[in-house]
A and B are shown apart, each in its own frame.
Chain A
């Protein structure tokens, strides 16, 4: 797998940063890892930063008045600063560390949904949400607080139906539009600025689930103007166990915390407690210190490559995959959005997704099979499940060709 895609972006060199891509495999076939959308592999820079933290700079944060704890606190807070820069927001107090996107969304559904929204208001999600951005809102709807849940349709091409979104917003009762910025199944990139404009015009706030988008596109939340944003570290080449909730300071301040405990209070008596200022209020208990350091290293890693190069590489892969996969007989690709990223869900006319993934696995290709935590979307398109190939910065044109070739063989196998 070689091939320099363009000057300055050397995929061969990038691949050397990811130890797993050259680790021995059970049958000796090279790993063709096409499941980065579920979780990405880790570069040695991230692994090293976490190891270094544990070997030389580890203690609990915000607690000890001794040097090591101060050092650990500094690197933890430096990670927060790096995330703020990564999202282009000015105030790093607006960055709350969570376990993952799922927890971040639940914190908003709980804190903002129950604590701030009023009876009679509605939340809008879309048909293409990951369950992480659907189930918490269903729970809010079912909490008996008079909050309605509205679902924005997805067109046959797999795009957010903006006309329907306008209809849903029309009565002015929508308090929050919570939608994915990039579908983890269709690859659709949502016109985020349009969504913000439509929602704000009707007095609704906007939360973007950036779990996929933050990996593939440069984010500038100051320009975008949304109100909440979440992403998850492990898809961004960082470790598991760390995610991010960004919210406007006033919103985070108004939100009651989901968890109570240490680190999130300013004063405690046996009767009552006063909450610490944001973000500490939303970070009860010992945080994922080592993971925050890992996420910082992951952000430094992608920044060093640069989003211009990352986006260009992905565009090239996506266009190539579209052409190659469309040419495989009997294969249908789910969704045909104008603006799409490197995520392809597909089905073969004569093979079930699970049989297909078993075959591809034999060839060394790791793809996901099933409904990818987006069951309503599969129901919308009348499918029991699909296989999904998703790309990362280390994915090569040759791997895409290999996938297309293997799919052709698979169809013959089941003929």
Chain B
């Protein structure tokens, strides 16, 4: 009945949605932020631990929400590890483009591998009301990097 929805709910998404990776508090977190989409009921808390050299050593999150928001946060924590804040933000920008349009024309070779990992989420662009579920984690990441303690929103 729902076979054509496999583009949106690819196996990777369902898997990360059911068993999110890095789903825990980081006791040694140096940065932290909350994200909340009150209309959808997606809610998360993101933790980052920065290395001396300024790179993200570890990223983890906790929260509740739909499969898309949980999978997106899970994939994000995997992809931002080892990145500088500037690299992580650039990736977030590229990802938002992907979520909204389904493609990323100016994603250069530098971002190619990471975008490949995030690409299972590109299906959301056909579901305007669900784009915000996919981008909440990345809005929250920006707030954590800015040390902004207000709840991030993508609604």
**B8 to chain A: closest residue by CB:** A358
Contact B43 A384 (CB under 8 A): yes
Given A355-B66, A371-B41, A414-B14, A362 contacting B5 (CB threshold 8 A): yes
A376 within 8 A of B: no
Contact A370 B2 (CB under 8 A): no
Contact B39 A370 (CB under 8 A): yes
In the bound complex, how far is the Cα of B67 from the Cα of A369, in angstroms?
Answer: 14
In the bound complex, how far is the Cα of B8 from the Cα of A184, in angstroms?
Answer: 31
Task: Choose one: B1, B5, B65; the contact of A358 (CB below 8 Å).
Answer: B5
Given A352-B65, A354-B133, A358-B130, A384 contacting B5 (CB threshold 8 A): no
A359 within 8 A of B: yes
CB distance from B123 to the nearest CB of A (A): 11
Contact B2 A409 (CB under 8 A): yes
* B5 neighbours in A (Cβ, 8 Å): 358-359, 362, 413
Contact A406 B68 (CB under 8 A): no
Interface residues on B, range: 20 to 34
Contact B1 A370 (CB under 8 A): no
Interface residues on A, range: 10 to 19
- Cβ proximity bits B54-98 to A, threshold 8 Å, 1 near / 0 not: 000000000011111000000000000000000000000000000
Contact B2 A359 (CB under 8 A): yes
Contact A355 B67 (CB under 8 A): yes
**A409 to chain B: closest residue by CB:** B1
For B41, B65, B129, the residue with the greatest tally of chain A CB atoms inside 10 Å of its CB is: B41
Contact B66 A352 (CB under 8 A): yes
A197 within 8 A of B: no
In the bound complex, how far is the Cα of B5 from the Cα of A369, in angstroms?
Answer: 18
> Top 4 nearest A-B pairs by Cβ distance?
A385-B41, A352-B66, A384-B41, A409-B1
Beyond the given A354-B41, A354-B42, please list 17 additional residue pairs across the A-B interface where CB-CB is below 8 A: A351-B67, A352-B41, A353-B41, A355-B68, A358-B8, A362-B2, A362-B5, A363-B2, A370-B39, A370-B41, A371-B41, A384-B41, A384-B64, A385-B40, A410-B2, A413-B1, A414-B14
A residues with a Cβ closer than 8 A to B are 351-355, 358-359, 362-363, 369-371, 384-385, 406, 409-410, 413-414
Q: List 12 A-B contacts (CB under 8 A).
A: A352-B65, A352-B66, A354-B40, A354-B41, A354-B42, A359-B2, A362-B4, A362-B5, A371-B41, A410-B2, A413-B2, A413-B9
